[in-house]
Structure 1
Amino acid sequence: MTTSDQACYEPQRWVLQFCHGYDGPFLDCARQYAVLFKGTPYKVCTVYLTGEPSAEVERGSASDEVIFLDYSSAQVRGLKLGAIRDFRRIAASRDYALCIAHRFKPIYVALLGSSLTVIGVHHAFGDYKRRSRQLFANFFRKRLVLLGVSNAVRDDMRACLPAWPAERIETLYNRIDVEAVQAEQVSREAARELLGLPPDAWVVGNVGRLHPDKDQATLIRGFALALRQLPAGSLLAIMGSGRLEAQLKTLAAELGVSEAVRFLGQVPSGRRYFKAFDVFALTSDHEPFGMVLLEAMAAGVTVLASNCGGAPEVVGEPEALFALGDDATLASRLSAASTIEWREGEHAVKGCFTDAGAYARFWSLPSVVCLMQTRKS
């Protein structure tokens, strides 16, 4: 029998990826984990618990098969018995090596709906602060491995599950396909024209919901404090919408900087236009990771961030950080950024935040190595 004949008779190996939905950044999260198996003997089936079928989502999932369960958010509250039955059917349909589940609800369904080992990926803080969730995780600890999208998220889980061995709660950073993101991004001139920004202004950018978690109030105050030291005609451009819009506009008026603060509203595919900014400033109070920082770095933009959550791990430079709510330090950081000629590549995306870096990291994680060795035996 030839090698090709043997391959025909060998059972195909599969990985099951289970996502809550594909809204916001979570479609790219599915892509990030699907490409970890590119070039391996494994194929990937990605299942979305919520969200209507979409050809665009299928393409963006980078998977060999995509299944849409099409539940509404209301339908997956409570015990989620229907979702568990559906997942059990999918898990039994072929020989899956393991399941990768994003966020607690899919982890819950995957563990109750199958006997698979589950790699649970957590994208937020506090998922195991509830006693009921701690009990659930401890009950299934023999076939549950946890990954945080930053060391900050990892450490939060370790604190909530102190009896767990460290190697079963690890970090696998979020990442971007740098070349793909850069290919999407339009030129500085085109971005400014689309956003209605002057071609020659020095622009501080921010992207995010207008929500207390994003703390754009500190951003506006810091910008107002720095404005006299910034180049003439400098602007603050905030891309996003939310319930604080009126309050933030009032704050800008009270500080006398209304003319210098532009509220751009919700901009579809906003990362395409990051080259419009000279500096990107993130003032969030508990960002688990800060994907938007990577997208700004890919555009070659100087980044500043509050020193909390996962952002310091992404930025990595003390002089680019400021304490949460510290508008005075933010002002000094903005002033410095406007006068320092940053070296080309100063804020290049580090290797650990790329697909290639994540691939190397994932396949060297002790829990993954052990799992795959067990599977082969």
Structure 2
Amino acid sequence: MSEKIGILFLDHSSALGGAEQSLLLLLKYINRVYWHPHLANMGEVLIEKASALGVSTHFIAMPRLRGVSQGLLNWIEGTIAIARLARQIGVSLLYANTVRAAFYAALASRLVNVPFVWHMRDFWLSESRPRYTWADWMGKAFLCGLASRVITNSYATASYLPCQGKVTVIHNGIEVEHYDPSTNGAPFRRRYSIPDDVPVVGMVGRLRPWKGQDRFLRVLALVHQNVPDVWGVVVGGTPFNVDAEYPRRLRELAQALGVANKVVFTGHLEDIRPALAAMDVFVHPGDPEPFGLVNIEAMAMGKPVIAFAHGALPEIVVDGETGILIPPENEISMAMAVEELLLDPSRRYQMGSAGRKRVEEFFDIHQVVKQIEQELAKVAFKSVIDRERPI
């Protein structure tokens, strides 16, 4: 095949989460000699960033599939719009980057007779709320049945799928060359009035309860008892005022725990690297993550990571080598691990260096994109061969 293969990437989110950041990196580095990427999305931010990368962008509404009548109507309208766009631009492959987008892409792929690849980067509700198990199983079975290939971002996400024969695990990646462990954290500390000579523990994540900022504050308070000069940094904002009361509750909790004057809430930061540079230890205290991109970002900056041993974190952090894995929700053990590393600079450095090497070896975006391209090529070329094969 001499012509470029047109591929329509679909993502429903109007916010830039980890899935969208990973998609943008894929769009940035996908080989344009062989692929002609298009993006369909319903938010300005992702469309603007993709357009800046030279990607053809299209606005497509993919509203929530809630309620029997309205949900079905949304599904039909969105599916028809995607199918119409796919025909218009002449793509050979649909790629869904989110679960919601996958439901739209699955049916649209049948309408235009092109294969559909589902990149699953999420946990479903049933993974944390058992009452959704039956509905989620039906949804997964439906998407698995229509997808030509399923890519997951971790073995943790893959383990919940009923179509293991179609699944390939490809971990997320970052532009490792843009992360410098020698970056001076002093400018960030000065900006937020953090003394240069105190230990700093930090976390990064949207201000949502499941991200665990409340646990972080309780861990910080426990560490403060034995390391009284420790400071905490919480990086992250509240998207679209979802649970807008949560930031207020966090500040009240910090006050009640006696660490309000030793913790900084930065809000959303477009670039988290200066914040990571200012930290001595990175903590990930949230609920199970389907991946957890910020952890490899911290490791790329040479920081040891302390996290709960659930979700995809054991696939990222090597316990005792690049950080410390803690039994889930054990805040006392997490605090003890933080203290241990704060009091042992040599071990911190060794873990940070090992973490950097691990990211270079396993989570480099250039390697990740090549792996994804290989999966997409298998599907695209098989589709062409099947269409050209005489009946």
TM-score for both structures, normalised by structure 1: 0.82
Runs (5+) with no aligned partner, structure 2 = 127-131, 238-243, 386-391
Q: Match for residue 236 of structure 1?
A: 232
2:279 equivalent in structure 1:
277
Q: Quick check: 1:124 aligned with 2:122?
A: yes
Change (3 A) 1:263 1:118: same
Query: Identical aligned pairs, as a percentage?
Result: 21
The secondary structure found in structure 1 opposite 2:44 is coil
Does the 8 A contact of 2:218 with 2:257 survive in 1? yes
Partner of residue 50 from structure 2, selected from 52, 58, 69: 58
Distance 1:41 1:347 in 2: 34
1:356-367 to structure 2, matched below 5 A, reads 356-363=366-373
1:153–1:288 CA contact under 8 A, matched in 2: yes
In structure 2, the CA distance between the partners of 1:142 and 1:112, relative to structure 1 (3 Å rule), is closer
Tell me the distance in 2 between the aligned counterparts of 1:334 and 1:358: 31
Q: Tell me whether 238-247 or 324-333 shows the greater mean CA deviation.
A: 238-247
- Is residue 19 from structure 1 mapped to residue 11 from structure 2 by the alignment? yes
In proportion to residue count, which structure has more helix? 2
Cα 1:364–1:17 shift into 2, 3 Å? closer
Is the 8 Å Cα contact of residues 117 and 143 (structure 1) preserved in structure 2? yes
Q: CA deviation at 1:20?
A: 0.9
Q: Over aligned residues, Cα RMSD in angstroms? A: 3.1
CA spacing shift, 1:187–1:374, aligned 2, 3 Å? same
Provide closer, same or farther for how the CA distance between residues 100 and 272 of structure 1 changes in structure 2, counting only shifts above 3 A. farther
Q: Partner residue of 1:178?
A: 176
Q: 2:86 aligns with which of 88, 91, 108?
A: 91
Name the CA distance, whole Å, in 1 between partners of 2:47 and 2:11: 17
Distance, in Å, in 1 between the alignment partners of 2:311 and 2:225 is 31
Tell me which residue corresponds to 1:29.
22
Question: Of the candidates 336, 349, 355, which is equivalent to residue 347 of structure 1?
Answer: 355
Partner of 1:168: 166
Offset at residue 255 of structure 1 (A): 3.4
Residues 146-225 of structure 1 aligned to structure 2 (within 5 Å): 146-157=150-161, 161=162, 164=163, 166-180=164-178, 182=180, 187-225=184-222
For residue 340 of structure 2, what is the aligned residue in structure 1?
336
Q: What aligned pairs does 1:314-329 form with structure 2 within 5 A after superposition?
A: 314-318=316-320, 320-329=324-333
Query: 1:303–1:315: 8 Å Cα contact kept in structure 2?
Result: yes
Aligned length: 356
The 8 Å contact of residues 31 and 63 in structure 1, kept in 2 or not, is answered as: no
SS at match of 2:77: helix
Conserved 8 A contact 1:145-1:169:
yes
Asked if 2 retains the 8 angstrom alpha-carbon contact of 1:53 and 1:68, the reply is no
Aligned to 1:82: 77
Assess if the C-alpha contact under 8 Å between 2:16 and 2:45 holds in 1.
no
Shift in Å at residue 284 of structure 1? 0.4
1:106-138 per-position Cα deviation (integer Å, ceiling 9, x unaligned)? 111112223221111222212686545544554
Once the two structures are superposed, residues 151-206 of structure 1 have per-residue CA deviations (whole angstroms, 9 ceiling, x without a partner) of: 1111122xxx2xx2x231232212111224559x9741222222332222211011
Contact 1:43 1:63 in 2 (8 A): no
Q: Any stretches of 5+ residues in structure 1 without a counterpart?
A: 1-6
2:56 partner letter? E
C-alpha separation between the residues in 2 aligned to 1:139 and 1:261? 46
Match of 1:67 in 2: 58
One-letter amino acid matched to 1:67: H
- Secondary structure at the aligned position of 1:44 is classed as strand
Letter of the aligned partner of 2:34 in structure 1? Answer: P
Does the CA-based 8 Å contact 1:237-1:264 persist in structure 2? yes
- Partner letter of residue 30 of structure 2? F
Are the aligned partners of 1:218 and 1:326 in contact in 2 as well (CA < 8 Å)? no
Q: 1:74 to 1:170 in 2, by over 3 A?
A: closer
The two structures have a TM-score, normalised by structure 2, of 0.79
CA distance in structure 2 between the partners assigned to 1:255 and 1:363 by the alignment: 49
Structure 2 Cα separation of the partners of residues 327 and 139 of structure 1: 39
- In 2, the alpha carbon distance for the partners of 1:222 and 1:98 equals 47
Query: What is the CA–CA distance in structure 1 between the aligned matches of 2:179 and 2:199, rounded to whole Å?
Result: 23
Name the structure 1 match of 2:129: none
- Cα displacement string for residues 6-60 of structure 1 (whole angstroms, at most 9, x for unaligned residues): x9xx543211111113512244232233256316512211111x11377742345
Give the 3 Å change call, closer, same or farther, for CA 55–327 of structure 1 in structure 2.
closer
Kindly provide the amino acid, as one letter, of the partner of residue 354 in structure 1. D
